[in-house]
């Protein structure tokens, strides 16, 4: 019988979509203080999913996407807590039941990358409190490899390279 032991720590990231006319980066950082402190940042050039958010968040030209990744490893069981915190911030910053901030939470591990979701699907595992975990990448052949269900913007090489550089903080 194998011995149970704690999993190695993870890095956490937040992929943000926000209205530039309502928020600036400093205001958002203030909202996330204590959860995202020391971080690497990627301003993504490739954002096919932005169109999806226009119905809820408004004019495409006012939306901006960036990713922050913590450089301080934390326990893996923090994933659920962080997703619940992000949900709370989204609700608090909504206007007329429409989000002005979209916060997607991810967990970066040496062997894979996970995304937190509120929606069930065949490749998502229930973690509790209405939150599911989605396997987004496997680490194989010295790189993170997207899976068939990985969102198109996460399959873009710019994001894979960003996550590769973040991975160095765990090594």
Q: What is the DSSP letter of 149?
A: T
85-109 pLDDT per residue, tens:
999 999 999 999 999 999 999 999 9
In sequence order, the β-bridge partners of residue 98 are 95
- What distances in angstroms separate CA 57 from CA 17, 22, 47, 68, 143, one per listed residue? 9, 11, 15, 20, 34
Q: Give pLDDT, residue 40.
A: 87
Q: Give pLDDT, residue 126.
A: 98
Q: Give pLDDT, residue 5.
A: 92
Q: Where are the alpha helices (DSSP H) in 93-170?
A: 152-155, 157-167
Q: Give pLDDT, residue 57.
A: 94
What pTM value is reported for the model? 0.94
| Ranges of residues in the chain whose predicted pLDDT is under 70 | none
DSSP string, 90-106: HHHT-BTTB-SEEEEEE
Q: Give pLDDT, residue 34.
A: 80
Q: Where are the beta strands (DSSP E) in 44-98?
A: 63-70
Domain ranges in the chain are 11-167
């Amino acid at each position: 019988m194998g011995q149970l032991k704690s999993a190695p720590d993870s890095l956490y990231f937040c992929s943000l979509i926000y209205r530039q006319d309502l928020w600036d980066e400093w205001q958002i950082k203030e909202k996330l203080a204590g959860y995202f402190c020391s971080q690497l940042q990627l301003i993504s050039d490739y954002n096919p999913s932005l169109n999806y958010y226009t119905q809820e968040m408004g004019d495409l030209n006012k939306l901006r996407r960036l990713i922050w990744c913590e450089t301080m490893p934390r326990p893996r069981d923090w994933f659920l807590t962080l997703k619940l915190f992000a949900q709370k911030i989204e609700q608090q910053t909504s206007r007329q039941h429409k989000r002005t901030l979209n916060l997607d939470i991810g967990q970066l591990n040496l062997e894979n990358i996970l995304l937190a979701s509120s929606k069930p699907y065949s490749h998502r595992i229930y973690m509790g409190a209405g939150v599911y975990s989605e396997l987004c990448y496997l680490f194989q052949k010295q790189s993170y490899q997207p899976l068939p269900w990985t969102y198109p913007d996460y399959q873009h090489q710019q994001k894979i390279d960003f996550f590769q550089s973040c991975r160095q903080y765990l090594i």
